[in-house]
Structure 1
Amino acid sequence: MEIRLLRPDDAEIYKEIRLEGLKMNPEAFGSSYEEEAGRPPEVYGERFKADNSFHFGAFENGKLIGVVSLVRETGLKVNHRTNIYAMYVTESGRQNGVGKGLVGKALEKARSWDGVEQIHLAVMSENIPAKKLYASFGFEVYGKERHALKIDGKYYDEDLMALFLS
């Protein structure tokens, strides 16, 4: 397995895995399949160029099997914080250390940023494997957002987790 930064020319394959995640686990993302299906791949390619965000991909035999995004806050009062978003590993990549590798790479990058003291994320409260993965890196639940998402009339809660570096 190779984990590397995604480049603008990875936009098409990123969109494919993003849509897969939105379709397979809609409760895990704030965005929806319907919102992103019509979005041109170039939108993702532009995101890969931003100064305050890094998007990592896990590849197995040249196939993208997992992704995670790390985005640093830019405001003067909050630029000590960064966030993990859009974490997804394909079914075939689960239980094989792909998620651990992606989170590890994101944390390595966050620690390299001067002034970053906190890393935040939100995870569906019922997603026990993901919560265990994040806890293994030292993330702690500090709150719960009840009814964070509503899909087809059903509500999903999110646990808010943070890792304090200092």
Structure 2
Amino acid sequence: MNDIEIIEIKSDQIKQYKTFLTFGLVNDEENFRITPNDDLNAPFPTKDKVDSFTLGAYSDNQLAGIVSFARDGGDREKLRHKGVLFRMYVSKHFRGQGIAKKLIQALLERVKHITDIEQINLTVISNNDNAKTLYEKFGFVTFGSESNAIKWKGKYFTEDQMTLKLK
């Protein structure tokens, strides 16, 4: 396996980020809740802040995977204790090399330094067993499911909500 380097992707790298994400949205469309059209004119997903960041996994300077974290509700006082892990994606070419694990580890390490974040939530397509198993290895537990959460090309998808209690 090539050495994997986890680096923060900043908003000024939006072109590289969007190129990578769009590839995932097209080739793994059933594992995302957004489409390439949804993301076409969307801003960078995070704000280059301690509590709003995106990480990239690089193999030989090639982007192999991404994950984002943001405080739930932005600056809403009643939601400040929660964060959201979202847009987790590893390119098919790089799967099976532990990249998703390294991304989550790096994200959790950064979040642990945000003293007022008490839990991290995420959503995952219910039948994405590989992702759910990985999240569970880090201590995430399912606390709810929404049937018909997504409808795409005449097909419905159930989403599971998962949480990790940090405190």
Same fold (TM over 0.5): yes
Alpha-carbon RMSD across the aligned residues, in angstroms, is 1.6
* TM-fit CA distance, 1:29: 2.0
Name the CA distance, whole Å, in 1 between partners of 2:149 and 2:110.
28
Q: Secondary structure at the match of 2:87?
A: strand
Name the CA distance, whole Å, in 2 between partners of 1:115 and 1:8.
24
TM-score normalised by L of structure 2: 0.91
Equivalent in the alignment of 2:101: 100
Equivalent in the alignment of 1:70: 69
Q: Secondary structure at the match of 1:77?
A: helix
Q: Superposed, which structure 2 residues align to 1:1-166 within 5 Å?
A: 1-37=4-40, 39=41, 43-44=43-44, 47-50=46-49, 52-73=51-72, 74-166=75-167
* TM-fit CA distance, 1:30: 2.1
Name the CA distance, whole Å, in 1 between partners of 2:144 and 2:30.
18
Structure with bigger helix share is: 1
Q: Secondary structure at the match of 1:82?
A: strand
* TM-fit CA distance, 1:34: 1.8
TM-score normalised by L of structure 1: 0.91
Q: Which runs of 5+ in 2 are unaligned?
A: none
The question of whether the paired residues in 2 share the 8 Å contact of 1:148 and 1:156 is answered with yes
Name the CA distance, whole Å, in 1 between partners of 2:96 and 2:142.
23
* TM-fit CA distance, 1:92: 1.3
